[in-house]
Amino acid sequence: MSSFVDVALPVPLRRAFTYRVPDGMTLRLGMRVAVPFSGQKLAGFVLRTHDDPPVGLKRVLSVAGSFESEPVFPEDLHAFLLRAADYYLHPVGEVLKLAAPALPKEAFKALKESGFVEHADDIKGRRLTTQLTSRVTRVPEVALPLRAGVKQKALLALIEARGAMLLTELQKLVPGARGVVSSLVEKGVLHAEDVEIAADRFFSADLPREAPFEATGEQRAAIDTLTTALRAGKGGAFLLHGVTGSGKTEVYLQLVADALEREQGALVLVPEIALTPQLVARFRARFGEGIAVLHSGLADRERHHAWRALRRGELRLAIGARSALFAPVPRLGVIIVDEEHDSSFKQEEGFRYHGRDMAMLRAHMTQAVCVLGSATPSVESYYLTEQGKMTRLSLTHRAKHQLMPEVEVVELARNPGVGPSGHPLITGPLHRAIQRCLSAGDQAILFLNRRGFAPSLHCRACGEVARCPACSVSLTEHRRAGVLRCHYCDFAMPITEACPQCHALALERVGIGTERLEDALQTSFVEARVGRLDRDTAAGSGVEEVLDRMRKRELDILVGTQMVTKGHDLPGVTLVGVLLADQSLAFPDFRAAERTFQLLAQVSGRAGRGDRPGRVLLQTYQSDHYAVRFALHHDYLGFYREEIETRRELGYVPIARLVAVRADAGDEVVARKVVKELAELCERMPEVKDRVVQVLGPAPAPIERLRSRFRMRFLLRSRSRAALRKVAQAVVSRIDEGVSPARAHVDVDPVSML
């Protein structure tokens, strides 16, 4: 029995802390323990057990108790998490805490009473299929206090509009809803009662059961290659490049079925689970209840149950968004990353990991088969196949032999002025196409990547744009909600005609958002039933409802942001209209062309998936841009070839690797000073002097001010992973010494350039 343990704590320090093991306590690697740390008790993870008293310490504190009787993570997962923390230069204790199921409050309380807890894991709970939440209603006649904040008002407006709302739904609409609700309950304005709801609304999705398909030739070939790799037991990385509608899901399903039959486990990662109810439903239809669906709507208790069931081997298949990567799937044989190009796999806060890259690492470490699937693979992934580091599997035809849709360009420059709809963005050609589609009894999807009514408000008196007080971005008018809102910090204020800067009553609506487009369509096509899908309508089960209505043909036109471009399989859709194809090209990001091509190809892929051929209209000012040109012909490879040449010339990802170093502070001078100091530190490193690593910047971030903080950054770029890491490590050590009052971090393989 060891007398000491090194414990990783969830603190931003990249080192472990040594504690004494009390007599009679047995601790093993990976167990979660409570230890005293600067006057409080923290939960940490045992990284090492040993008998070496720490040198130079007079008194070694003792472990206060252990929360579980066994290691939290299976051994392979524990090892993977350590590697992931190391790769991203992130404190191990924070990574382990993030990956572990949250400790129930009872655990710490029990610890306080007895000072020693074991088996806190066996907390009595409900069945996996139900979840406890509150149903919140307005108490009539109790007025909202005069000094109520914007959040309180917004939340109240929501509840009043719908009569009653579930806390789980409110939490998706209003940040910090739980706190706001409980303060309003205290004030007597709201009433909350406990209710049990289906924990997993994907259980209730009423979709027809689906028997396995007779695979097409291409599907068969892909499935055979993958199952052969699975049976060989040595793992392998595969890129399943299948055009939209080629039936990638069927390949996943048959591979997973094979793994389950062999008593192995499988993990399926999807970009956003709420946006892919269909994929989850197909897995349900094939595998019944034996699936842990991990999503943000689960309460801690439910997550805990799903976790336990996987950990004990009662469930062997997990589906979820990015963080499901950490699910303790037993005997992991397969990891699938669907729509691998999607940027939501990258976590942009705290532990900034990329779910796709880490899926590949985890699969590699456990010798599992890793499948990345997409119709528009990321340039990084396709590059790996060209380098022979990943095997490419192609599905070049649609599963039911439907043709790819015809894509046409509508030159916005040549269709100026107001079209027949009375709106400049609905051009004559698009208007006529919608008419034809509707009179044929078909459905249309219209894509505009801006939510709200008007994206900005311009003051005719002072020439300014109405801005968020905390961020350097303009406010968007949301007419339905009656507010001007910041899309970055969620600041909201009542709609006003007065300019926030000069107070003149001269605000003018500029541009068009999905709300306004919805109105314009409704007035032009009076008979049509128009639905909308964007962050504003997606709350709760909003996505499922809208998609369901589309599927049941209760809607004729669906308007939406990039949410409509996701993998939806809606056979009635024969027309797709892209209102402004250039929108994403203007982004200050070296991936702007790639993003644009992906969006255009993906949204085009929603057309013509049924019996009738599809048609796509791309409205654009830049029809000669290569992202638009190749999207016209569904030519991924053409796009890739041109893009990789550009990246090569500019020395960007994936030819070179990047690390972003960012700092922010309330005071601009402080932010500038800190980032300058960090950049100078890099300049002094031999790797930078020898030009193996380049420092690009520092410069203010494109969004210079966010949540009242000034943001500065620079990029480190290199073709040598080792050299880049060395410089990044030096930055991290400097940050660990403290840069207060600024905050600073490194972001390895950054995605967001904002």
Which positions lie near Zn ion, rule CB under 5 A?
A: 468, 470-471, 486, 488-489, 491
Residue number with CB closer to ligand ADP (277 or 567): 567
Residues 407-466 that bind ligand ADP (CB under 6 A): none
DSSP state of 190: E
Structure token pair of residue 442: 């078909």
Let me know: does 455 contact 567? Beta carbons within 8 Å: no
517 Cα distance to chain centroid: 26
What burial class does residue 116 get, using C-beta atoms within 10 Å of its C-beta: 0-12 exposed, 13-18 middle, 19+ buried? middle
**What is the nearest approach in angstroms of Zn ion to the Cβ of residue 457?**
14
Residue number with CB closer to ligand ADP (65 or 567): 567
Site string for ligand ADP, 381-400 (x = CB under 6 A): ------------------xx
The DSSP H or E segment spanning 411 is: strand 406-411
DSSP state of 595: H
- Choose the contact partner of 245 out of ligand ADP, Zn ion, none; CB within 5 to 8 A by kind: ligand ADP
Q: Is 277 in the site for ligand ADP (CB under 6 A)?
A: no
Q: Is the dihedral of CA 702, 704, 709, 711 positive or negative?
A: positive
**What is the nearest approach in angstroms of ligand ADP to the Cβ of residue 242?**
5
**What is the nearest approach in angstroms of ligand ADP to the Cβ of residue 527?**
29
Q: How many CB atoms lie within 10 A of CB 648?
A: 12
Judged by DSSP in three states, 447 sits in strand
Let me know: does 533 contact 558? Beta carbons within 8 Å: yes
Kindly calculate the radius of gyration of the chain based on its CA atoms and give it in whole angstroms: 27
- Choose the contact partner of 491 out of Zn ion, ligand ADP, none; CB within 5 to 8 A by kind: Zn ion
Residue number with CB closer to ligand ADP (84 or 543): 543
**What is the nearest approach in angstroms of Zn ion to the Cβ of residue 342?**
25
Per rule CB under 6 A, count of chain residues that contact ligand ADP: 17
Residue number with CB closer to Zn ion (43 or 471): 471
**What is the nearest approach in angstroms of ligand ADP to the Cβ of residue 327?**
22
Q: How many CB atoms lie within 10 A of CB 2?
A: 14
Residue number with CB closer to ligand ADP (478 or 606): 606
Binder among 93, 101, 235, 247 for ligand ADP (CB under 6 A): 247
Residue number with CB closer to ligand ADP (421 or 574): 574
Binder among 131, 152, 225, 249 for ligand ADP (CB under 6 A): 249
- Choose the contact partner of 517 out of Zn ion, ligand ADP, none; CB within 5 to 8 A by kind: none
Distance CA 393, CA 705 (A): 44
Residue number with CB closer to Zn ion (26 or 708): 708
Beta bridge partners of 711: 664
DSSP state of 579: S
Residue number with CB closer to ligand ADP (247 or 333): 247
Judged by DSSP in three states, 706 sits in strand
Stretch that binds ligand ADP, among 238-246, 538-546, 555-563, 672-680 (CB under 6 A): 238-246
**What is the nearest approach in angstroms of ligand ADP to the Cβ of residue 357?**
22
Helices (H) and strands (E) in the chain, counts: 22, 30
Distance CA 557, CA 574 (A): 11
Site string for ligand ADP, 566-585 (x = CB under 6 A): -x-x----------------
Residue number with CB closer to ligand ADP (83 or 612): 612
Site string for ligand ADP, 538-567 (x = CB under 6 A): -----------------------------x
- Choose the contact partner of 489 out of ligand ADP, Zn ion, none; CB within 5 to 8 A by kind: Zn ion
Distance CA 95, CA 47 (A): 13
Q: How many CB atoms lie within 10 A of CB 610?
A: 18
**What is the nearest approach in angstroms of Zn ion to the Cβ of residue 744?**
21
DSSP state of 102: P
DSSP state of 529: -
Binder among 18, 66, 152, 246 for ligand ADP (CB under 6 A): 246
- Choose the contact partner of 400 out of Zn ion, ligand ADP, none; CB within 5 to 8 A by kind: ligand ADP
Structure token pair of residue 524: 């032009």
Residue number with CB closer to ligand ADP (569 or 747): 569
Distance CA 754, CA 746 (A): 14
**What is the nearest approach in angstroms of ligand ADP to the Cβ of residue 637?**
17
- Choose the contact partner of 246 out of ligand ADP, Zn ion, none; CB within 5 to 8 A by kind: ligand ADP
611 Cα distance to chain centroid: 33
**What is the nearest approach in angstroms of Zn ion to the Cβ of residue 484?**
11
Residue number with CB closer to ligand ADP (248 or 662): 248
| Farthest CA pair distance, the chain | 85
- Choose the contact partner of 567 out of ligand ADP, Zn ion, none; CB within 5 to 8 A by kind: ligand ADP
**What is the nearest approach in angstroms of Zn ion to the Cβ of residue 752?**
16
**What is the nearest approach in angstroms of ligand ADP to the Cβ of residue 378?**
16
- Choose the contact partner of 470 out of Zn ion, ligand ADP, none; CB within 5 to 8 A by kind: Zn ion
Residues 3-62 that bind ligand ADP (CB under 6 A): none
Residue number with CB closer to ligand ADP (248 or 450): 248
Residue number with CB closer to ligand ADP (241 or 516): 241
Residue nearest to ligand ADP (CB): 247
Binder among 131, 171, 244, 376 for ligand ADP (CB under 6 A): 244
Binder among 44, 65, 93, 242 for ligand ADP (CB under 6 A): 242
Query: Which of 187, 186, 167, 185 has the alpha carbon at shortest distance from 177?
Result: 167
Distance CA 338, CA 241 (A): 11
Which residues fall within 8 angstroms of residue 710, CB to CB, at 6 or more apart? 664, 665, 666, 667, 668, 670, 671, 672, 700, 704
Judged by DSSP in three states, 629 sits in helix
Distance CA 203, CA 391 (A): 35
- Choose the contact partner of 37 out of ligand ADP, Zn ion, none; CB within 5 to 8 A by kind: none
Stretch that binds ligand ADP, among 151-159, 192-200, 240-248, 667-675 (CB under 6 A): 240-248
**Per-position DSSP letters for 709-740, written without gaps between them:** EEEEEEEEEES-HHHHHHHHHHHHHHHHT--T
Site string for ligand ADP, 210-229 (x = CB under 6 A): ---xxxx--x----------
At position 395, the amino acid (one-letter code) is L
Straight-line distance from the first to the last Cα atom of the chain, in angstroms, rounded to the nearest whole number: 51
Q: For residue 15, what are the CA distances in angstroms to 40, 47, 350?
A: 18, 11, 17
Which residues fall within 8 angstroms of residue 153, CB to CB, at 6 or more apart? 144
**Per-position DSSP letters for 449-496, written without gaps between them:** S--SSBSEEEETTT--B-B-SSSSSB-EEETTTTEEE-TTT--EEE--
Residues near ligand ADP (CB under 6 A): 213-216, 219, 242, 244-250, 399-400, 567, 569
